[in-house]
Structure 1
């Protein structure tokens, strides 16, 4: 089940959002709360675990940014927040960004814009099978913790080296691999080449503490999707997933330059 909040004083805007949500009702059970002011929106967010919230910036009672700032610590503190307005001033944008809003829809928008965001939320909530490969148990544990902080959901497995990773990959289960570059025996590049022999669709991202530009040619040759420079964050994982799943980048997304070359991303199967 997906729980969605629509908070807007305009009945026209509420109808457009609801039409976009309805596109997905044949495949998912979706519970929708619709309110027309900020106080009512915050009350819903406190009482229920909302997954996706469409919140007008200029709500009466409490403004949209004020509502978003009050979400932390409620049942809905991890919900995907989409702000809506005819325009977005600097103060509102700073507040929304600071309080982890996800995206902004400029009015007037189309129901397809809403439908795409609901589809994004569904993708985020669908656990992606991922394999973490690192000879250090401590680093694997740290990587798991970072993945758990991402907006996306993961079904996480671990391998302590290339040999155990290849054995795991033969199951055909995994869509993503995060592998360390420096490992005893076969390194990350060799592992990536072996993975490519098994599948051309698996996303392979290499983790390294070192500058990676010298690996560009080898990485492109074996089909590595990109690099994650250590230390990385849950926001960096979000950026990887947006690229891998070919989801448009959000207005308030946080990312840094982690890719050392511009190879086209592979579409997840």
Structure 2
């Protein structure tokens, strides 16, 4: 994973660098000491994670990110500053920044951001389970529009879903509650037994609290009400900015 560290403070760059060097996966570091260097580095990267200080000589981190966005960059960006405020956070959010880090920050915060970026930049696999071909098509299209490269497969009932889980691991399952044969609540523990690490979200037309409680009690990781909106799906999958 490419990681850009753009800050005119050597101390700040060293803190982030040390956390990056302590990871078990491959990280390629790109250093920038001012805004112009940051812009140049970002222009060469389509993906990755960028820590961008706002106040740097020549050009701010926000300006460097704006250049990158105009060039089509999808890099996960974290804006850093010793100052905080609504205007700064709004400016960062408008440029698609994932987070706003107020100095001084901890190594733990950097660690969490690295892990989050790694997950966001991966190609997670999703199994969409629904007896309606129309609903499956709708959810698949929505997943592809969220800006992340999902590997999506479909199942038309619970029995097929369990069989597919036995032969392949899925990071996420969108599971319809009401289906012929094996329904969602019956299939849920069977799917969890095959892969306890999978996140399983029940998708249903029922929005009452009793149904939601039953799903969560059965081990669901979340609950989505049809018709599913892109915002709710993003929120459930953890893809939304924390700003």
Q: Deviations over 1:60-119 (max 9, x none)?
A: 33322233333324252x111011111222211111112221112221223343233222
Match of 1:37 in 2: 34
Q: Secondary structure of 1:83's partner?
A: strand
Matches for 1:63-212 after TM superposition, within 5 Å: 63-76=60-73, 78-150=74-146, 153-171=149-167, 173-196=169-192, 198-212=194-208
Deviation at 1:251?
3.4
Unaligned runs of 5+ in 2: none
Aligned residues: 242
Matched, 1:251 2:239: no
Q: 2:97–2:241: 8 Å Cα contact kept in structure 1?
A: no
Q: 1:83–1:101: 8 Å Cα contact kept in structure 2?
A: yes
Distance in structure 2 (CA, Å) of the matches to 1:172 and 1:153:
18
- Compared with structure 1, are the counterparts of its residues 221 and 89 closer, same or farther at alpha carbon in structure 2 (3 Å cutoff)? closer
- Compared with structure 1, are the counterparts of its residues 188 and 3 closer, same or farther at alpha carbon in structure 2 (3 Å cutoff)? same
Distance in structure 2 (CA, Å) of the matches to 1:204 and 1:166:
12
Question: Paired residue for 2:52, among 55, 64, 74?
Answer: 55
Unaligned runs of 5+ in 1: 244-248, 253-269
Task: Pick the structure with more helix per residue.
Answer: 2
Match of 2:20 in 1: 21
Distance in structure 1 (CA, Å) of the matches to 2:212 and 2:111:
37
Q: 1:134–1:161: 8 Å Cα contact kept in structure 2?
A: yes
TM-score, normalised to structure 2's length? 0.85
Q: 1:181–1:187: 8 Å Cα contact kept in structure 2?
A: yes
Distance in structure 1 (CA, Å) of the matches to 2:213 and 2:85:
44
